[in-house]
Amino acid sequence: MDPDLTPDQRLLRETAERFVETSLPLAKLRELIDAGGEVDPSYRRAAAEVGWFAFLAPESLGGGSVSGVGLLDAAVLAEVRGRQLQPGSFIDTNLAVATLSREGSAHQQAAILPDLITGEAAAAWAVADPSGDWSGGAGARAEAVPGGFRLSGRKGLVVEAQSARWLLLTATAPEGPTQFLLPASTPGVAVEVLPGLDLTRRLCEVTFDGVVVDDAALLGAPGRAGAAVDAQLRLAAVLSSAETAGAMQYLFDLTVRYCKDRIAFGRPIGSFQAIKHQLADSSLALEMSHAVVTAAARALAAEGDDTPGDGGDGGAAAARAAHAASLTKAFVSDAAIELAHNCWQHFGGIAYTWEHDFHLYLRRVTTDASLYGSPAWHRERVCQLAGI
């Protein structure tokens, strides 16, 4: 993350690192993976006590930040989470908090937001269809019925939906893209946990079979959710990239230590020129990833400060933020996989073993590359933004 962190943000990072070390270090996470279990909800509540789900809500709604720019604080946390492979629906729950703060009714904000901020409940973002289209409208339909809506269809790549209390759903209505926030326990909602590469999180497919919800589940106006979905995607792309950059940092540091300790032909292998060159390339990719994540987070924060009606160019700010978020997601996703494969070369056979931590990080960054839009999907989005 940004080398120009404020003292409060540095304290936030240190606090988050201590929390992870005491609550769910990698050794304990491995035990959980081996046992096939899920993270206890007390972990989420404890994380909420140190503010993990409050940064994207205003103080008037029970949120707040340490630096005054909640998005930058959330990115600091995301980087720590990526370094330590933390599980859970951190990104999706924060998306729901941010969306409720902006789009939710007074009733929704009073009834749902406090539980999300305090960690009593988690949310999952059901936006992509099973084929990986993250534009929002594909995969689910909404039809108006007396007193509410009927929802049908399937959504894929939903993170930790099996443990979520709330689903943030994007569906296509006759009026256009429409969003709903509904309980995951609503009759007709079925959550299937899919086999996945990432062992630290579960990806799910959610089916909506004639689900009927009342008007209270609607977020905003029917057919007017396009801008909200775009903003959610920008936020998810930046926070996911921050997590990926954190995982890259761990892998690089692990590899450098190994190259200093591993002796071959009477010398540390890190002293050989070929390995130095690869590590230098990996270091450059890592620093560039941190830099673009910081730039994108600042662009999104500026978007929030530059709204129409306040003398700002809200549309232009949103376009700059969208461009920065998609470029960042595409670059960091590709750079992470390349860095992981390059670093793997220096470990040799030991990194292929189950007992070594390396494969857990490779699984994580590979999965992150496909979540919230693949690199190819985001490059296509950049072309669309540029009118190409």
pTM above 0.85, yes or no: yes
- Residues 195, 314, single domain; the answer is no
- Nearest of 56, 58, 40, 45 to residue 19 by alpha carbon: 45
What integer pLDDT is reported at residue 313 of this predicted model?
58
Give the integer Cα–Cα distance in Å for 365 and 85.
10
Tell me the CA distances in angstroms from 229 to 108, 128, 168, 329, 342, one per residue in order: 18, 11, 10, 16, 36
Question: Does the structure show a pLDDT above 50 at 151?
Answer: yes
Assign residue 345 the CATH number of its domain.
1.20.140.10
What residues are paired with 180 via a beta bridge? 169, 218
Confidence tier at 388 by pLDDT (50, 70, 90)? confident
* Percentage, residues of the chain above pLDDT 90: 84
User: Tell me: the pLDDT tens digits for 319-364?
Assistant: 899 999 999 999 999 999 999 999 999 998 898 899 999 999 999 9
User: Is the residue at 212 inside a domain?
Assistant: yes
Domain end point (choices 84, 117, 150): 117
Q: How far apart are CA 32 and CA 29, in angstroms?
A: 5
**Average model confidence (pLDDT) for the chain?**
93
d(CA 248, CA 263): 24
Each residue's pLDDT tens digit, 44-80: 999 999 999 999 999 999 999 998 999 999 999 999 9
Amino acid 283: pLDDT: 96
**Domain limits for position 211:** 123-219
Contact predicate 330/375, CB 8 Å: yes
Residue 2 has pLDDT above 80, yes or no: no
Give yes or no for residue 306 having a pLDDT over 70. no
Distance, CA of 265 to CA of 292 (rounded, Å): 39
Judgement on whether residues 215 and 148 belong to the same structural domain of the protein: yes
Q: Domain containing 52 — which CATH number? A: 1.10.540.10
pLDDT reported for residue 262:
84
The predicted model gives 248-274 an average pLDDT of 91
Residue 45 sits in the same domain as residue 78: yes
Domain count, the chain: 3
Give the bridge partners for 87, in sequence order: none
Domain co-membership, 263 together with 303: yes
pLDDT at 308: 37
pLDDT of residue 307: 40
Domain check: are 51 and 188 in the same one? no
CATH number for the domain harbouring residue 157: 2.40.110.10
Instruction: Kindly report, residue by residue over 186-237, the tens digit of the pLDDT.
Output: 999 999 999 999 999 999 999 999 999 999 999 999 999 999 999 999 999 9
Q: Are residues 356 and 232 in the same domain?
A: yes
Please give the pLDDT value at position 268: 86
Asked if the structure places residue 215 within a domain, the reply is: yes
Provide the residue type at 230 as one letter.
D
